[in-house]
Structure 1
């Protein structure tokens, strides 16, 4: 019995010793350092190449993050580049939401910081669970008032805001995304307008009537002729309006994909930054009478006595009630980014469920839903435009190597041409769907890129695209064909036939009539493209004053709309280059009329 007691006591002692040792080990583990102090470099893959960061850590804290190198798109990626490092430091972790509209840039930063912290010996999975703390939204309701409230901070909304202020109104702009710009910011920014001075310098004959006819017939005569006439008559005066505020356009005009004529103006600043910067510079100069609220989502139009008098919205700080003295302008863009909605209305294409889009993430049709809820009439909703120019991985227009319609051809996976490359966008896209894997190559030569640092319409140099594997370069067509895996003989024959038509000026077998240079001067280039959802021609019905009409064709007092959220202008097919003209012209008209509204 005594022996048993001695054994039991010994076991208890051993158990206590082991327990103490375990506690000591646990304590040591909990007090262990999180990082090996120092500075570490990490890299991540962004939309335009590598993003490189430097992360500084102490034993238990991330103290600094610097973005050393990146080629991300100006304006689009700014919030990710500037804000994400601060959020990571605040959270002391990697469980940070990506910035809406800059997802790939955000992921690149998170990947780069994660790689750097891994070098510092961090537990990456544990860091991914740490998120930036946010105060819960206030339960209070904040009220604001202005003469004009604009829903949407893209090109149409900002044009309307500036125009309204120029006509004497105080203005509040609501933008649900973390930044202004919308689709305008990431567009190729080609703007169609008949411009005698610039066009005559290039030997281009044009007229406003021709622009009208091509727009009307290009949409199969479904567009409202009165709205189209407003568009083409005011396209160039609106360019002059933009120039009066400091915006600059290049002197040389071009034919944009599906534009049908060389009347497209290219801004000096890349992408759509010229438009957005012009408007925002004006707004900043007049900030006592103009306010822009980002991260603020409009949810409902406020009606009183059958008139729109304001907007309900939500922000990180709680609910907002925005009262308008004169009018509310809807400029929220289309619904190409809303898969469910485009599937609901699509009648003209194969399933759009799995197609990517060129649009920014905010293009989800919110304005259409708000307008419909108060009886606004929606027209042409089934008219959804696809482009044959999507990036195979993202659906975006970035990486598109073409510089103008006249100087490139499309070939399929066999190396054969299959369509008139100067045709309407729907014609080209339908032809692309009939090719193997709905896939094509854009082929051009050094006429488009005299040097490797020449940039496309998305501010990407051809050398950068080749380095990143998004374009291919060769000194011969045969070598180019081998690089991209197509039949060399077919490619050479396709180019030779094209060059023959350039020489003779004759219409080719596909009906092509737009030519400028032969494809005959090395280096030769190729870029891959697929169909992508681009523009929704349907939307809110408006009159020539940009007033919203109800289901009975009557004006809804106090409500205006402009831009892609509207329908009735482009018919079945929008001409390339007409969107920037549309949003600018009708944004300006909506702002002016809303400012003067006395209904």
Structure 2
């Protein structure tokens, strides 16, 4: 075909003369590329975490020169971090037989299989690629120590905030290590950034929120009054700090809840911005690097022993910030500290394994509240995405019957988790109507992504989820009767205020409950200084985020991460 086009265009060139020259040369170049005159291109398909994906593999003389991701259904915060690493590894190895990106295991598998499929059409067969496919293992090596000013362990929101803050406060050399291949922990998935006050979005809404009001609302038994006050003060200036690096949370709802925009999650905006700022400031970021132990000299914490694949070395510094997260992904530790919780799924990322808990015990560092968990009422099965959109839904089992309250307060969260696990298949259906759909961006997003099931009528929905229609219909009638006050709701003390609609469309999501965070951890004071069992300060050691014992969550990780970097800087520079 290419040569036929070449003949015709050449003939027209001679007939029409110079005015055809530029067009002819352009078309010939395009034709040559499409035919692989300057290399060959192969399309390969695979399946990632979200579904089918497609890649374009470009070769030149049997050398892989480029890999392009043509289409996918992967989560944006994961794929945009993982794919560049996968591409780099494939080009370096000249093969899809590479290590997967930790924190993006299924995405990695899909990309590797797609590249292998593309190359197979080029005559190269790499065999069956599975979850255990990885690069050849390198021998163990013990490397020379590395010296710096500050070592930060953990590349989530707290660790990144600490690195940025330390740099802004005059620390020249900062090394941040992260055991996974990608940064930003679970924060990059979060829709809501709550507990921030004095924000531009609040002011735009006419909300005058104060430090005093925050302290009054947030005082609790887990946090000292001093830490709650420190959080309040940090929350008061947080929006200004984030906006200073281009991070804008412009949608405020429910007093202190924030999203990037009404239709854009906060987590992706925040974590993209923190990563960008840390790199701009020259933070030495070392991924695939796990902290193994603390280095202590004359009672002062001065570094961390680390492992990067099979390379072991020490990072010596003048102070250390721990931001290693919780342990909701470690069933052994859950069984030890919160028996029964190990049966419940987690919505947290795979790095939340509590690696430093044995280290705290080894060095007599104080830990507390390890049995306290934050349980999120609903995650989707099997994707594990947080879902739900407030009041106005029915929770039913495979029989189409309600079996527990739809309330999602903390007091009932573990009860709900166990109640769902006791149902046929160990799941339930979260069923809602158009009213709730219209009021919740999260539900709208999940439906558009094809993660929720939509039907025009309740009967059609029942058929799609294989639930008896007559039973489901009767369940809805009982549900609405309780709301109208015609009968007592046998599962709820206070019924919902809004009836479940009788006209479609209707929606359903298969759900379980999940441990979203562990709330216990190492004890740090209001200055983020870690304490020994005897209550004394561990000099040179700071902690922030989920690794600490705290009632707070995402926004507090950034608040105390920033404070940890600032106080570590003062310690280092004094």
Fold agreement, TM-score > 0.5: yes
> For 2:311 and 2:126, how far apart are their aligned partners in 1?
34
Q: SS where residue 593 of structure 1 aligns? A: helix
Q: Does 1:333 align with 2:307?
A: no
Q: Does residue 476 of structure 1 match 2:457? A: yes
Structure 1 residues 519, 252: closer, same or farther in 2, change over 3 A?
farther
Deviation at 1:330, TM superposition (A): 0.5
Give the structure 2 partner of residue 109 of structure 1: 111
Q: 1:514 to 1:223 in 2, by over 3 A?
A: farther
**1:63 & 1:590 partners in 2: Cα distance?**
44
Residue number among 38, 42, 45 corresponding to 1:43 in the alignment: 45
Partner residue, 1:456: 442
Q: Which residue of 2 aligns with 1:575?
A: none
- Give the 3 Å change call, closer, same or farther, for CA 510–41 of structure 1 in structure 2: same
Give the superposed CA RMSD.
Answer: 3.7
* Structural mapping, 1:372-387, within 5 Å: 372-387=361-376
User: What is the TM-score normalised by the length of structure 1?
Assistant: 0.77
Give the paired residue count.
526
**Which whole-Å deviations, capped at 9, do the CAs of 1:333-370 have from their partners, x for residues lacking one?**
011122222222223x35x1x54422222222123333
Alpha-carbon deviation of 1:176?
1.8
**In the alignment, does 2:413 pair up with 1:428?**
yes
Query: Closer, same or farther in 2 for the Cα pair 1:512/1:374, shift >3 Å?
Result: same
Does the 8 Å contact 1:420/1:428 carry over to 2?
A: no
In the TM superposition, what whole-angstrom CA distance separates every residue of 1:528-554 from its partner, at most 9, and x where no partner exists? Answer: 111333211110011111111111111
Q: Distance in 2 between matches of 1:581 and 1:507?
A: 40
Decide which of 157, 177, 188 is 1:174's aligned counterpart. 177
Matched, 1:406 2:394: no
Distance 2:366 2:48 in 1: 41
For residue 594 of structure 1, what is the aligned residue in structure 2?
568
Equivalence for 2:359: 370
Do the aligned partners of 2:100 and 2:134 also contact (CA within 8 Å) in 1? no
Take 1:422 and 1:490, find their aligned partners in 2: how far apart are those partners?
A: 22
User: What does residue range 476-515 of structure 1 map to in structure 2 within 5 Å?
Assistant: 476-492=457-473, 494-495=475-476, 510-512=492-494
The CA deviation at 1:332 is: 0.6
1:210 CA displacement: 7.2
CA distance in 1, matches of 2:79, 2:306: 26
Q: Is 1:276 aligned with 2:271?
A: yes
Q: Distance in 2 between the 1:54 and 1:455 partners?
A: 34
- Is 1:556 aligned to residue 538 of structure 2? yes
* Residue 397 (structure 1) aligned with residue 412 (structure 2): no
**Aligned-partner SS, 1:589:** helix
Distance in 2, matches of 1:512 and 1:119, equals: 62
Q: Is the 8 A contact 1:45 1:51 kept in 2?
A: yes
Native 8 Å contact 2:161 2:565 kept in 1: yes
State the match for 1:30 in structure 2.
none
2:316 to 323, 328, 331: 323
Say which is worse superposed, 202-211 or 105-114, in terms of deviation: 202-211
C-alpha contact (below 8 Å) 1:408/1:519 kept by paired residues: no
Task: Compute the displacement of 1:180 (Å).
Answer: 1.5
Tell me which of the two structures has the higher relative contact order, counting C-alpha pairs closer than 8 angstroms and 6 or more residues apart.
1
Corresponding residue for residue 27 of structure 1: none
Give TM-score, length-normalised by structure 2.
0.80
Per mean C-alpha deviation after superposition, the further-off stretch among 508-517 and 582-591 is: 508-517
Residue by residue over 1:500-554, the C-alpha shift from the partner in whole angstroms, topping out at 9 and shown as x without a partner, is: 78789x9966135776796566422111111333211110011111111111111
Shift in CA distance, 558/252, structure 1 to aligned 2, threshold 3 Å: closer
Pick from 132, 143, 146 the counterpart of residue 143 of structure 1.
Answer: 146
Residue 583 (structure 1) shift: 0.5
3-state SS in 2 of match to 1:68 = strand
Among candidates 147, 152, 155, match of residue 153 of structure 1: 155
Q: CA deviation at 1:72?
A: 1.6
- Alignment partner, residue 388 of structure 1: 377
**What is the alpha-carbon distance in structure 1 between the residues aligned to residue 161 and residue 225 of structure 2?**
23
Which piece of structure 1 moves more, 302-311 or 242-251? 242-251
Does residue 1:535 correspond to 2:537, yes or no? Answer: no
Counterpart pick for 2:304 among 294, 298, 311: 311
Give the structure 2 partner of residue 244 of structure 1: 244
Output one character per residue of 1:198-217: Cα deviation in whole Å (capped at 9) or x when no partner: 56987999887776566556
Describe the superposition over 1:386-445 as per-residue Cα deviations: whole angstroms up to 9, x where unpaired.
333233225x225x3x2x323444333333444454432451341242241442222223
Range that drifts further, 381-390 or 298-307: 381-390
Matched residue, 1:573? none
Q: Distance in 2 between matches of 1:71 and 1:324?
A: 42
CA distance in 1, matches of 2:224, 2:208: 26
Over residues 3-58 of structure 1, what are the superposed CA-to-partner deviations in whole Å (9 max), with x where a residue is unaligned?
A: xxxxxxxxxxxxxxxxxxxxxxxxxxxxxxxxxx9644332222222211233568
The CA distance in 2 between the partners of 1:563 and 1:388, in whole Å, is: 22
Residue 300 (structure 1) aligned with residue 293 (structure 2)? yes
Q: Secondary structure at the match of 1:109?
A: helix
* SS of equivalent to 2:566: helix
